């Protein structure tokens, strides 16, 4: 099959970072895949595409209105007509769904989170098949978006990498290095995390020199987060170094990974952290609900964030060795549940369904 993989942008993010694995797997299964992005934004995903030897096309150099982007994609599709338009992220879905209807080309759409834009909901039946990036999203597609089970499949977008660098476990004496990777966007709740950490250190000032929080990434919330850091006088404790494509190296230098998101799908960053042997601390949303197991792989940030964070940190400082125990089990969890073979098998099942035209008739 000839597939156009149409994505909203090439910015920093889990859905964008998964593109090399998705496209390479589809190509290895014998299909011709072209990557087309509506816009670049911060281009954080580009280094991964380059490293994987993948080329891509941009429909615009900056954010443009739907009619302009749609017209540019229609021009490409007229000259290089695909068998399938495979879309990813809300705006990419919208463009692909409109083009598919105009050109009578089947559309397959990825869903990466358990939330939905209004226009995505209204056009949900314009996609012949929906792919959830986790079981959580599959359930959301069926239960909240009303997509029938025969029109929904799962492709968990994480695969265990046994060659990833491994984190060093905390000795209980050095500074506890806590980190997170993600776009600085309100959905990630980093502002609330800084508030919770600031409140904790007001109550336990003796621990100010015992920990550091680094959030790797960039985005529209940067200025607000910088203001929060100043408000709580955390300039020497909370760091915002910006975007980096050296995610594995960054994670390998941490002792604990934290993800306080309001909602997620797969959350690749958290699973990457588990892959390098990090214990994890996260809200029970999306696939993190299963991955973060209290007393086993990490700490669940349930209820009020400030209370949950304080409880977890006090446990860690009281018993430092639990981080190593949780880290070992975190790595075992992803090694068992997200093997390369399982990743490829999910792709094979989707492609088989597409090839048989069972959902696309």
Query: What percent of the residues of the chain are helix, what percent strand, and what percent coil, each to the nearest 5?
Result: 45, 20, 35
Count the alpha carbons within 13 Å of 103 in the hemisphere toward its beta carbon. Answer: 24
For residue 320, the 8-state DSSP code is: T
Q: For residue 245, what pLDDT is reported? A: 81
* 121 contacts 38 by C-beta, under 8 angstroms: no
Q: Between β-strands 298-300 and 129-132, what pairing exists: parallel, antiparallel or unpaired?
A: unpaired
What are the φ and ψ backbone dihedral angles of 24, each rounded to 5 degrees?
-60, -40
Please give the full DSSP string across 137-201, using - where no structure is assigned: HHHHHHHTS---GGGEEE-------TTS--PPPP-SSS-EEEEEES---GGG-HHHHHHHHHHHH
pTM recorded for the entire structure: 0.87
Q: For residue 100, what pLDDT is reported? A: 97
Please give the full DSSP string across 68-93, using - where no structure is assigned: HHHHHHHHHHHHS--SEEEEESHHHH
What span, in angstroms and rounded, lies between the C-alpha atoms of 297 and 280?
Answer: 6
What are the φ and ψ backbone dihedral angles of 116, each rounded to 5 degrees?
-150, 140
Sheet bearing 2-9, strands edge to edge: 56-58, 32-39, 2-9, 84-88, 107-111, 129-132, 152-154
* 190 contacts 260 by C-beta, under 8 angstroms: yes
Query: How far from each other are the two terminal CA atoms of the chain, in whole angstroms?
Result: 16
- Which residues are bridge partners to 298 per DSSP? 280, 294
- Give the rounded distance of the alpha carbon of 20 from its chain centre: 14
3-state secondary structure of 271: helix
Count the alpha carbons within 13 Å of 239 in the hemisphere toward its beta carbon. Answer: 12
Residue with the two structure tokens 């009578």: 104
| CA angle at 68 for the pair 64 and 70, rounded to the nearest 5° | 110
What span, in angstroms and rounded, lies between the C-alpha atoms of 72 and 84?
Answer: 17
What are the φ and ψ backbone dihedral angles of 211, each rounded to 5 degrees?
-150, 160
What span, in angstroms and rounded, lies between the C-alpha atoms of 238 and 48?
Answer: 27
Distances (CA, A) of 320 to 55, 82, 175, 204, 209: 46, 55, 12, 17, 16
What span, in angstroms and rounded, lies between the C-alpha atoms of 52 and 24?
Answer: 8
What span, in angstroms and rounded, lies between the C-alpha atoms of 252 and 210?
Answer: 19
Each residue's pLDDT expressed in tens, for the chain with a length of 361 residues = 999 999 999 988 888 889 999 999 999 999 999 999 999 998 989 999 999 999 999 999 999 999 999 999 999 999 999 999 999 999 999 999 999 999 999 999 999 988 899 999 999 999 999 999 999 999 999 999 999 999 999 999 999 999 999 999 999 999 999 999 999 999 999 999 999 999 999 999 999 999 999 999 999 999 999 999 999 999 999 999 998 888 889 999 999 999 999 988 899 999 999 999 999 999 999 899 999 999 999 999 999 999 999 999 999 999 999 999 999 999 999 999 999 999 999 999 999 998 876 455 4
Q: For residue 186, what pLDDT is reported? A: 95
CB count within 10 Å of CB 83 equals 15
3-state secondary structure of 37: strand
**Residue-range domains of the chain with CATH:** 2-159+339-355 (3.40.50.2000), 176-337 (3.40.50.2000)
In this structure, what is the dihedral angle of CA atoms 26, 132, 136, 347, given to the nearest 10 degrees?
Answer: -20
* 112 contacts 90 by C-beta, under 8 angstroms: no
């Amino acid at each position: 099959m000839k597939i156009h993989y149409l994505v909203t942008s090439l910015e920093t993010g889990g859905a964008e970072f998964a593109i090399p694995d998705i496209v390479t797997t589809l190509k290895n299964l014998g299909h011709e895949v072209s990557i087309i992005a509506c816009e670049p934004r911060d281009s954080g995903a580009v280094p991964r595409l380059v490293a994987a030897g993948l080329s891509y096309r941009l429909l615009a150099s900056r954010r443009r209105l739907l009619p302009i982007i749609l017209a540019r994609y229609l021009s490409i599709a007229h000259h290089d007509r695909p068998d399938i338009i495979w879309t990813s992220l809300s705006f990419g879905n919208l463009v692909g769904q409109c083009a598919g209807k105009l050109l009578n080309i089947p559309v397959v759409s990825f869903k990466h989170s358990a939330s939905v834009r209004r226009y995505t909901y209204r056009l949900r039946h314009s996609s012949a098949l929906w792919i959830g990036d986790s079981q959580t999203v599959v359930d959301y597609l069926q239960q909240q978006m009303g997509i029938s089970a025969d029109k929904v499949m799962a492709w968990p977008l994480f695969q265990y990498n046994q060659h990833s660098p491994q984190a060093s476990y905390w000795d209980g004496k050095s500074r506890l290095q806590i980190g997170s990777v993600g776009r600085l966007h309100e959905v990630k709740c980093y502002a609330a995390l800084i508030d919770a950490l600031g409140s904790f250190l007001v109550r336990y000032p003796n621990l100010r020199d015992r920990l550091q929080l680094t959030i790797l990434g960039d985005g529209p919330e940067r200025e607000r987060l910088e203001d929060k850091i100043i408000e709580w006088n955390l300039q020497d404790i909370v760091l915002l170094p910006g975007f980096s494509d050296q995610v594995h190296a960054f994670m390998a230098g941490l002792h604990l990974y934290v993800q306080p998101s309001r909602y997620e799908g797969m959350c690749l960053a958290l699973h990457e952290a588990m892959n390098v042997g990090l214990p994890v601390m996260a809200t029970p949303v999306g696939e993190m609900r299963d991955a973060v197991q209290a007393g086993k792989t990490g700490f669940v940030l349930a209820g009020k964030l400030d209370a949950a964070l304080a409880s977890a940190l006090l446990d860690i400082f009281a018993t430092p060795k639990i981080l190593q125990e949780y880290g070992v089990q975190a790595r075992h969890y992803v090694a068992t549940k997200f093997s390369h073979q399982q990743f490829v098998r999910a792709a094979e099942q989707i492609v088989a369904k597409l090839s048989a035209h069972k959902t696309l008739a």
